[in-house]
Amino acid sequence: MNLRLLLISHAPTAAMRAGRFPADDPLDARGLAAATAARTSLNPSLKFSDDATTFVSPALCARETSTALGLIAQTDATLADIAYGNWRGQRLNEVAARTPDALAAWTRDPDAAPHGGESFSQVVTRIGRWLDALAATPDNASADERHVVAVTHAPVIRAAIVHVLGASPAIFSHIEIAPLAVVELQHSQQRGWSWWPASS
């Protein structure tokens, strides 16, 4: 049975606009409005969502995005954002002024991590296991295609792309995921994982 997975990045937050590392921030009015508007614009991509299994990161911004999109999702901790450790909630320019070498390494080296945080390579391992477990889960429905939607974070979606392509985590800085972006991944027994342009 084939699997079709849509990964959706959460709507923008005030922290993103202020250049702060996330700290379980809610959507502000602008982010909520963007997510609500996206419910209509994303509808073609989400046309199967009533029949889909839907997951969401435990982060407040992801859960509020999921609700604004009209999805009823179950929380899955594996979809949590990359752990920012001591940088959580701090402004990027403050971290750059205090620990410039650590920040520079983190932006270039997939194995570098903030103190007490998580490296991108660790996120690839985490989400890769989730993806492969998802693909191995039998579906009891009689349909030829299984549908899954997950609302999560840009670093997690980058990691998912790296995993399905079998690419080096070092390419992470070359993958840009915008707020409310939709990335479609498909899995078949014959081909394994592949990355598809999101349906329009």
pLDDT in tens, 60-111: 999 999 999 999 999 999 999 999 999 999 999 999 999 999 999 999 999 9
Contact 53, 139 (CB under 8 A): no
More confidently predicted of 189 and 10:
10
The residue extents of the domains of the chain are 2-196
Contact 193, 186 (CB under 8 A): yes
pLDDT digits (tens, 9 = 90+) for 147-170: 999 999 999 999 999 999 999 999
Is domain 2-196 in CATH 3.40.50.1240, yes or no?
yes
pLDDT (mean) for 114-125: 96
Is pLDDT above 80 for 198? no
For residue 53, how many other CB atoms are within 10 A of its CB? 17
Q: How far apart are CA 58 and CA 125, in angstroms?
A: 19
User: Taking all residues of the chain, what is their mean pLDDT, rounded to a whole number?
Assistant: 91
Q: The whole model's pTM is what?
A: 0.92
